[in-house]
Each structure stands twice: as C-alpha cells, then as structure tokens.
Chain A
Amino acid sequence: MAADLAELQEMIEAALPGAAVEMIDEGGGDHLRAIVTAPQFVGRSRLDQHRLVRAAVKSRMDDGSIHALSINSALP
C-alpha cells in the first residue's frame, strides 16, 4: 500500500505548527524521507526531533502505508 505523501505532510504540519515539511518517495511508495524544519525542534536532541516526526505519522507506520521513514530534521 502506497502512502499519500500530501496527507503525511499535512499530518506532520498539524503536529508541528509552523513546520516546513517536504516528503520524498525514495522507492516503491512506502520508503519515504521527511525533511522537516520545525520551531519545536529548538532545544531538543536529534532523537527527540525524530520522535516528534514519527509520532505525527505513527498511524501510517502502524497500518503499513509507510515501510521505512528516513528523517532529516533541522532547526529554523
């Protein structure tokens, strides 16, 4: 099942208001990369930055729409 990139982008933006999000399909529609710049990342470790992004799309990881999610997180 392929993921809906626009929906995922919206999910991350909704969870992290003010974030700039780019979703990239790196293969097969379920190996994705999220490039996220978010004000909520300030003062947080990389681990926590990634946790925030994963939590936002957890339902799509759990239902198998996303098989693998790479994350590049950056501070605004």
Chain B
Amino acid sequence: MAANPELKEQLEQALKDNKRLLLMKGTPEAPRCGFSMRTVGILEELNVEYGAIDVLPVLAGLREVTAEMSDWATFPQLYCDGQLIGGCDIVEEMQSSGELAGVLGVAERHSETTTTATVGVPTPAADLPPYQSPPVTLG
C-alpha cells in the first residue's frame, strides 16, 4: 500500500521549512514517550532551534510515509536539511561522541563570545524555548 500522498507532501514541506525537524510522540513540553523525551533533552542541551511535530494524531499514516521516504518507521526521528539523522539511540550516540553538534550545524561552545565586548548589549532572552518554529501539525 502506498503511503498517503497528502501526508507525504505535508511532511516534505515541513522538512523544507525547518532546517532541523523532530518527529516525536507528544510535544517538547509534554513528550508522550521516553525516547522522544530523551531526544528533546539532547536538543535542549545543544540549545538548538528545531521544529517539532507530534506524530500521534497521524501515527499509522506517517509511519507508512517515513518507511517509504527514509526506510524508517519508528519515532522519534530527527531530520536535518531534509536528511534523516536517526532515532533516539543514534542521536544519543552522536551526542556522546560529539558528532551531533556538527551534523546539526551548531557551534559546540559559545564560551569565547561571552567576553567584555558584549557589555551593555542586550542579550537574547535566555528563557525562549530552544525550538522556535511555530508548532507544526500534519494531517
């Protein structure tokens, strides 16, 4: 059975609109699965912007779509530049080995930029959630 073409189109659009996209169960504030929660935790550690899609409302259909697109049918799935990086295990392994930041295109450390030169310059609000795209929904 071919995957739902509308859902596939919506996912492809979401992948174009979000450099980093996490397909997860639940939301970053309220993950509904331990693996999704761990993946969100790692992205927060990296303090990186990403879009997140709750797959639960479209779970069965989206499974078919990602199985067809990426040969991957379990969630969470982290994408960067439209390419599947992996699920929770791979993301955790890449974080421990230090590869993840590079793959996601984020600088690992910003410590050298916190020098006197920034005095008086308003710093970006630190309490912004690390994912800044509007909530993405499919289906």
Contacts and interface: CB of A to CB of B under 8 A. Distances in A.
Interface residues of B, number: 12
Contacts of A59: none
Contacts of B94: 46
A31 to B, nearest CB: 9
B89 A47 contact: no
B35 A50 contact: no
A11 B44 CA distance: 37
Interface residues of A, number: 10
B41 to A, nearest CB: 16
A50 B84 contact: no
B12 to A, nearest CB: 19
Contacts of B89: 50, 70-72
21 contacts: A46-B86, A46-B90, A46-B93, A46-B94, A47-B72, A47-B84, A47-B86, A47-B90, A50-B87, A50-B90, A51-B71, A51-B72, A54-B74, A68-B35, A68-B74, A69-B74, A70-B35, A70-B88, A70-B89, A71-B89, A72-B93
Would you list the 8 A-B pairs with minimal beta carbon distance, nearest first?
A46-B90, A70-B89, A71-B89, A47-B86, A51-B71, A46-B86, A47-B84, A50-B90
